[in-house]
Amino acid sequence: MEVLLKNLTKVFPSRNKKSGEEVVAVNDMTITIPDGKLVGLLGPSGCGKSTTLYMICGLQKATGGQIFFGKDDVTNLTPENRGVGLVFQNYALYPHLTVKQNILFPLQNLKGEDKLSKDEMLKRAIDVARLVQIDNLLDRKPSELSGGQQQRVAIARALVKMPRVLLLDEPLSNLDARLRLQTREEIRRIQRETKITTVFVTHDQEEAMSISDEIVIMKLGVVQQIGKPQDVYDSPANLFVAKFLGTPPINVFSGCVKNEKVYIGRDMIMDAKGVEDQEVWVGIRPEGFVLDEKGPLHCEMNAVEVMGRDVSIVASNSSAATPTIRAIIPSDSGVDHSGKSVTFSLKPYKTFIFNKETEERIYLEK
Ligand code: ADP
Ligand code: MG
């Protein structure tokens, strides 16, 4: 089921009538979520991810715009009539019901032609329990389960009605690091098996990158970029996106373009054919640095952190936007651990420049 959000907008009125301003939680959002894919909705806290999800499922009414499931305009349908499954961060299971009863619950309220017999309900519940691998826990209460198991029950409950669209709002946030990794792989597997069109909300870039067919990056209610995780990482549309994706994060320098060359301080780091003279932000991915005595970029060296396969060079440069910058280089590239300074050449496809004011990417000729 393809999902289309068309100019979707949500404005919350100010809480304080006199002084407060209204909040535009989602601003003119237009995206297509392809049939059968898992799309990660990614951005910092407060950027409008949950609000978007709640509009898709119908818990929040859109202020403007439309929502389509395939050809159906569902903008004004109630949540029950949209055929969506929803999973929250805090599982929200009924504590007094067993796992089986929790999973059965959504089926017991079906009316009219959707109504199922007891046997059909039980079969469905057991099928989804098997899918999420909790079929051995059916008689337990939620309090007798680990966080990861509880989240599986919540996923089973969302799937049991065979939704057209599955919506997950930060489903891994309450789990510890190891379970988070494991459950995220599980969600990926379940999504691939069921081929249900899925929207996965998270503020964690690594989580979104690892699980999604496509990611949508939001800032202050506005979509910044949409694409395959690797494509967005390799070609960020603006400084915000460049900074949001990647660990360690991209290194940012204040620089300028002069006579079609890019400078960081006095170091001329690369050509910028056809670009007008201007101030820019220069972004260099940690893996974009190459140790090179004859390289153009000069930095002071603060420390070398050994990571095994790679080393991380912590350095500083007076033009850097942060007190230190970080270069990741293979540990066999012969770094002098006691050096006071370090010189780099840069991989051009790991180095981006951005307009100083708009922070939009300035694309360079290859
Ligand atoms: P996210 O899920 O990305 O953290 P939300 O969608 O929850 O962000 O919130 C987006 C913005 O809308 C925030 O500024 C938040 O304070 C505001 N907001 C969310 N829900 C309400 C509400 N019910 N009333 C007023 N403002 C809200
Ligand atoms: Mg949220």
pLDDT digits (tens, 9 = 90+) for 263-321: 999 999 999 999 999 999 999 999 999 999 999 999 999 999 998 899 999 999 999 99
Contact 9, 24 (CB under 8 A): yes
Contact 201, 169 (CB under 8 A): yes
**52 C-alpha vs ligand 2 centroid, how far in Å?**
9
**Residues in contact with ligand 1 (CB, 6 Å cut-off):** 12, 23, 25, 43, 45-51
* Ligand with smallest separation from the Cα of 45: 1
pLDDT recorded at residue 19: 67
Instruction: For residue 221, give the ligand 1 atom closest to its CA.
Output: 10
**3-state DSSP of the chain:** CCEEEEEEEEEECCCCCCCCCCEEEEEEEEEEECCCCEEEEECCCCCCHHHHHHHHHCCCCCCEEEEEECCEECCCCCHHHCCEEEECCCCCCCCCCCHHHHHHHHHHCCCHHHCCCHHHHHHHHHHHHHHCCCCCCCCCCHHHCCHHHHHHHHHHHHHCCCCCEEEEECCCCCCCHHHHHHHHHHHHHHHHHHCCEEEEEECCHHHHHHHCCEEEEEECCEEEEEECHHHHHHCCCEHHHHHHCCCCCCEEEEEEEECCEEEECCEEEEECCCCCCEEEEEEECHHHEEECCCCCEEEEEEEEEECCCEEEEEEECCCECCCCEEEEEEHHHCCCCCCCEEEEEECHHHEEEEECCCCEEECCCC
Residue 256 dihedral angles phi and psi, to the nearest 5°: -150, 160
With bands split at pLDDT 50, 70 and 90, how would you rate the model's confidence at 65? Answer: very high
pLDDT recorded at residue 109: 79
Least confident of 99-113, 211-225, 305-319: 99-113
Closest protein CA for atom 10 of ligand 1: 48
Least confident of 27-41, 173-187, 215-229, 346-360: 173-187
**23 C-alpha vs ligand 2 centroid, how far in Å?**
15
**51 C-alpha vs ligand 2 centroid, how far in Å?**
7
pLDDT recorded at residue 226: 98
Instruction: For residue 48, give the ligand 1 atom closest to its CA.
Output: 6
pLDDT digits (tens, 9 = 90+) for 335-345: 888 889 999 99
**50 C-alpha vs ligand 2 centroid, how far in Å?**
4
Least confident of 13-22, 174-183, 357-366: 13-22
- d(CA 299, CA 266) in angstroms, rounded, equals 12
Instruction: For residue 13, give the ligand 1 atom closest to its CA.
Output: 25
Report the percent of the chain where pLDDT is more than 70: 99
With bands split at pLDDT 50, 70 and 90, how would you rate the model's confidence at 38? Answer: very high
| Bigger pLDDT: 183 vs 262 | 262
For residue 261, the cross-strand partners are 258, 271
How large is the average pLDDT for residues 65-71? 97
- d(CA 304, CA 291) in angstroms, rounded, equals 13
The residue to mutate among 23, 54, 170, 201, having the most atoms of ligand 1 within 8 angstroms of its beta carbon, is 23
- d(CA 219, CA 99) in angstroms, rounded, equals 38
Closest protein CA for atom 23 of ligand 1: 12
Instruction: For residue 44, give the ligand 1 atom closest to its CA.
Output: 3
**86 C-alpha vs ligand 2 centroid, how far in Å?**
13
Amino acid at the residue 306: V
Q: Residue 177: exposed, middle, or buried by beta-carbon count in 10 A (0-12, 13-18, 19+)? A: exposed
The CB-side HSE value for 342 (13 A sphere, CA atoms) comes to: 28
How large is the average pLDDT for residues 44-63? 97
How large is the average pLDDT for residues 68-81? 95
Distances (CA, A) of 317 to 15, 132, 250, 334: 45, 50, 14, 21
pLDDT digits (tens, 9 = 90+) for 109-164: 787 888 888 999 999 999 999 988 999 999 999 999 998 899 999 999 999 989 99
221-236 CB burial, b ≥16 within 10 A, e <16? bbbbbbbebeebbeeb
Contact 196, 128 (CB under 8 A): no
Instruction: For residue 15, give the ligand 1 atom closest to its CA.
Output: 25
290-324 CB burial, b ≥16 within 10 A, e <16? bbeeebbbebebeebeeeeebbbbbbebebbeeee
Closest protein CA for atom 1 of ligand 1: 46
Please give the mean pLDDT across all residues of the chain: 94
* Ligand with smallest separation from the Cα of 24: 1
pLDDT above 90 for 63? yes
